[in-house]
């Protein structure tokens, strides 16, 4: 299966203790698969089956009446352009894993 670049963004209502727990659980799901690029934004290099599993797991954690979850699929990551500014540098998934 072909890998694709996936961007996940979320905004979880943290006004209650339950909301703060949801936020931690959503982040934990994302951290287990992708890399954090901003506080509530993650990048993933995954195939379609992994994407569907990730979406299912995230939907199980959020409260759709209070939270917002967005998943962006970019099927051909070679054509995607990402411009980075600041101190964070993303992992090059196509480059060597050990430098």
**pLDDT for residue 95:** 59
In tens digits, the chain (99 residues) has pLDDT values of 688 889 999 999 999 999 999 999 999 999 989 999 999 999 999 999 999 999 999 999 999 999 999 999 986 656 666 666 666 666 665 655 454
**pLDDT for residue 87:** 67
Residue 11 bridge partners (DSSP):
68
Residue 6 bridge partners (DSSP):
44, 73
pTM: 0.79
Of 99, 9, 98, 90, residue with least CA distance to 45: 90
**pLDDT for residue 3:** 84
For residue 43, how many other CB atoms are within 10 A of its CB? 21
Burial of 45 (0-12, 13-18, 19+ CB in 10 A): middle
**pLDDT for residue 14:** 96
- Domains identified in the chain and CATH numbers: 4-78 (3.30.70.240)
């Amino acid at each position: 299966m072909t890998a694709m670049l996936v961007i996940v963004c979320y905004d979880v209502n943290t006004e209650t203790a339950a909301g703060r727990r949801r936020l931690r659980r959503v982040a934990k799901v994302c951290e287990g698969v992708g890399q954090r690029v901003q506080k509530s934004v993650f990048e993933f290099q995954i195939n379609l089956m992994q994407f569907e599993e990730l979406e299912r797991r995230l939907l199980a954690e959020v409260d759709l009446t209070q939270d917002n979850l967005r998943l962006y699929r970019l099927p051909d990551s070679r054509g995607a352009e990402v411009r980075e500014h600041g101190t964070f540098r993303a992992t090059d998934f196509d480059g060597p894993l050990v430098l």
